[in-house]
Chains A and B, each alone.
Chain A
């Protein structure tokens, strides 16, 4: 276990709202190994982005607060770290790229200035021409054509894909140990998505960093990740290595997600498989399992108390009373049968 670079234990993050304190992330635990990719998957509002922002300590203030838990980064406890020490970690050792490349860059500063800023921030000994050279090098590395010209341009003059490349250039400028990518390709079109994912994978191979991929797209997870954390309504419902998750999902929600992916040989012009019902609201959570109202396997016990995470094997756990009893999984790409049932 000493190759674990980030260990999140029992993280609970809440937002103060007019409806009271809402726990967007509730007792979430997972770990990230050095040089490996972890996927956090789940639908909108399940707490995956808030988990990432908690790690970065970037929660919107004063509403968002970490209530309890531990985040251990290379032996440093991040949650209790003074703000000043956190500045030295952010961008330098843990970097993050965001969903919206269109708005994530400052519209009134040039690309060169925004990339250069991170060098001047974390390497104060660098002089202006060093910073310029290093910025140019980073832009080249992320595959931006005509990097010299781009340095003097503003974000509105380049495309969304290029902006995300600039974001990646900034994120990787200091060779961080961990890159958190919060839906980095959601706002981009499909061909650009593939380019950006390949770029991240290539750069990872080069630098040996670990990546946390936050997405709702299981395709991205399948392509890039070694391990997967499935989140639902603020909680982890299943953690497994990537193959295990796709071949032997043990939580009905994970199964639901897998069945709702359309495949080439699924029946044409038929509605896609869906998980019926809606996620319970954070201010009105059930006493038992949070997936109970949508679960085809729900029984009485499910509404009594939250199910514990059951270990299927040392690397695989699922938060369901029937995790071990579910029928064997027929892989999705056979496209037949009702795997959800």
Chain B
């Protein structure tokens, strides 16, 4: 088992190189990027500064000289061949240096670090609520299969599944924040947050969190609930549950003492992957609710072609994902004694 996990951990290295090399090369080939952005900015300044006269001609003309562009290329490392600059970037990453944002001139690691608590906050709440609601709901639905409760909850869960989380977020905002004004329109805290006493601070935070958390949860909800329900129903029909009841166990104890742990095995397989979801958040939901987390950072850095940030977010999220996979394996081994990993 130890050998297996050492092997899996070592496999992170080539996988990580594969992921980052791929994205690194993409950043070289897609249009946009810091130099083009700078050219566009220079053009705009020229147009605004030059006033009305000769504006048409000014837009056509390249505002930066070849030497200036050459200097910029050198500054951003675009002058070297792809592999060389990738290796240079990788070398820095290994030393813990994710580079400097081309847009904000801040260290990328600082930018990411300041957003981690926000993403962690939403991620943990959403995960706790998802597991805390889906597992009991799945259990009740399995035991009360085909009753009114089961059917109605299935319909609700499927509607939630059919609509993407960020779309639900928009609807929630329009209805509950726009029309009825029950919840705030976005942001993590109110403007006067710092002046509030502690209890009110917590209430304010919770008040702002309700809608985003719902939007976060809604997608995973259906899959998790039905995974729980279906595996539990399979297990309830299994021979060993009949054995348990034949031993004299009441049905409830057979469910919770025997069927439940077996039913958690498939759920455990996805558990580890949650850590990447928790920390990296959701690009779109954070955009909709204007929450300044990892998701929004990643989203904006892609739009702005802020490549060091794009790659920095990628480094963190892919590492988390790879570690999460190993964690999942560990979780399965913990719940299922048949899993040996030899």
Report A163 CB to chain B, min CB distance, Å: 11
Chain A residues numbered 62-121 whose CB sits less than 8 Å from any CB in chain B: 83-84, 87-92, 95-96, 98, 100, 103-110, 117-118, 121
Report B92 CB to chain A, min CB distance, Å: 47
Residue A299 lies at the interface, judged by CB distance under 8 Å to chain B: no
For B, the interface residue count at a CB cutoff of 8 angstroms equals 22
Report A121 CB to chain B, min CB distance, Å: 5
For residue B262, which residues in chain A have a CB less than 8 angstroms away from its CB? 106-108
Name the residue of chain A whose CB is nearest to the CB of B258.
Answer: A106
Report A82 CB to chain B, min CB distance, Å: 12
A103 to B244, CA, bound (A): 12
A102 to B134, CA, bound (A): 31
Report B170 CB to chain A, min CB distance, Å: 43
Q: Are A154 and B337 in contact (CB under 8 A)?
A: yes
Residue A297 lies at the interface, judged by CB distance under 8 Å to chain B: no
Known A107-B262, A108-B336; contact A90-B245, beta-carbon cutoff 8 A: yes
Residue A58 lies at the interface, judged by CB distance under 8 Å to chain B: yes
Q: Are A90 and B337 in contact (CB under 8 A)?
A: no
Name the residue of chain B whose CB is nearest to the CB of A99.
Answer: B239
Partner-binding segment picked from B216-224, B246-254, B300-308: B246-254
Q: Which one of A83, A84, A91, A156 contacts B247 once the chains associate, using CB atoms below 8 Å? A: A91
For residue B257, which residues in chain A have a CB less than 8 angstroms away from its CB? 117
Name the residue of chain B whose CB is nearest to the CB of A167.
Answer: B243
For residue B337, which residues in chain A have a CB less than 8 angstroms away from its CB? 107-108, 110, 154, 156
Q: Are B238 and A103 in contact (CB under 8 A)?
A: yes
Q: Are B335 and A108 in contact (CB under 8 A)?
A: yes
Q: Are B338 and A103 in contact (CB under 8 A)?
A: no
Residue A122 lies at the interface, judged by CB distance under 8 Å to chain B: yes
Report B342 CB to chain A, min CB distance, Å: 13
Q: Are A170 and B247 in contact (CB under 8 A)?
A: yes
For A, the interface residue count at a CB cutoff of 8 angstroms equals 31
Name the residue of chain B whose CB is nearest to the CB of A113.
Answer: B257
Residue A56 lies at the interface, judged by CB distance under 8 Å to chain B: yes
A60 to B236, CA, bound (A): 10
Report A104 CB to chain B, min CB distance, Å: 5
For residue B338, which residues in chain A have a CB less than 8 angstroms away from its CB? 107-108, 154, 156
Name the residue of chain A whose CB is nearest to the CB of B264.
Answer: A108
Q: Are B246 and A90 in contact (CB under 8 A)?
A: yes
Contact code string B255-284 (vs A, CB < 8 Å = 1, else 0): 001100110010000000000000000000
Name the residue of chain A whose CB is nearest to the CB of B251.
Answer: A83
Known A107-B337, A108-B262; contact A122-B239, beta-carbon cutoff 8 A: no
Chain B residues numbered 194-211 whose CB sits less than 8 Å from any CB in chain A: none
Q: Are A117 and B247 in contact (CB under 8 A)?
A: yes
Q: Which residue, of B243, B249, B250, has the highest number of chain A Cβ atoms within 10 A?
A: B243
For residue A89, which residues in chain B have a CB less than 8 angstroms away from its CB? 248
Residues of B within 8 A of A (CB): 237-240, 242-250, 257-258, 261-262, 265, 335-338
18 further A-B contacts with Cβ under 8 Å, apart from A106-B240, A107-B337, are A58-B245, A83-B250, A87-B250, A88-B248, A90-B246, A90-B247, A95-B246, A95-B247, A100-B239, A104-B240, A106-B243, A106-B258, A106-B262, A108-B337, A108-B338, A117-B244, A154-B337, A167-B243
Please provide the 5 A-B residue pairs with the shortest distance between their CB atoms, ordered closest to farther: A91-B248, A91-B247, A103-B239, A106-B240, A90-B248
